[in-house]
Structure 1
């Protein structure tokens, strides 16, 4: 969403929540076989990060890298924000943030990358 349309998106999301509907854009995209691009992944990642949904952020990173999209500086910012916003704060939050800052120093394009993303389970998914 761009410009003032973001306000509309927030309004409609709040209306959906008020009526008991929980929007899940990413699952809807999968359901209708809409292939997200790099910008879509980054938007989803950062929205989940702002809400502190660390597990969802890692799932998006796994889907991104499986689809061949690499991580860029915006992805690393999202990972850092997700760790900062996750409650309760984990003991390893500071070390994870430092790790992502170090990784971000070698970021590349969101569409193609040779950067490996370390997943929540400790595995890596390369592109």
Structure 2
């Protein structure tokens, strides 16, 4: 399995990843995105209980290069926030698909995940984007 594009997650064109765990989804920033951003110095995340529509910004990531918003891949309610990122935002760089996760969201509808990309489609998208 490639560490660049793990196959156990789905992807968005905004460079978030989504892992389904029971009735919630875990959301984080892809390895590709964290490399583009450089060293992450601050992560702003929502509060538990906040609700978001699909494609609505739920937080931001600040790096030495830029500040980027992160988007909810599906509509839902935040059930857990990775508070460890407050003290260790660099975890987003060190372990983007593991301890660098952002939030757990309880989706408000079914079928929304079907619109996300699998690893090969995301890899193609990243390659395409890089050649523009």
* TM-score, normalising length: structure 1: 0.26
**Greater RCO (CA < 8 Å, at least 6 residues apart):** 2
Q: Which has the larger radius of gyration?
A: 1
Structure ranking higher in helix proportion: 1
Structure ranking higher in strand proportion: 2
* TM-score, normalising length: structure 2: 0.25
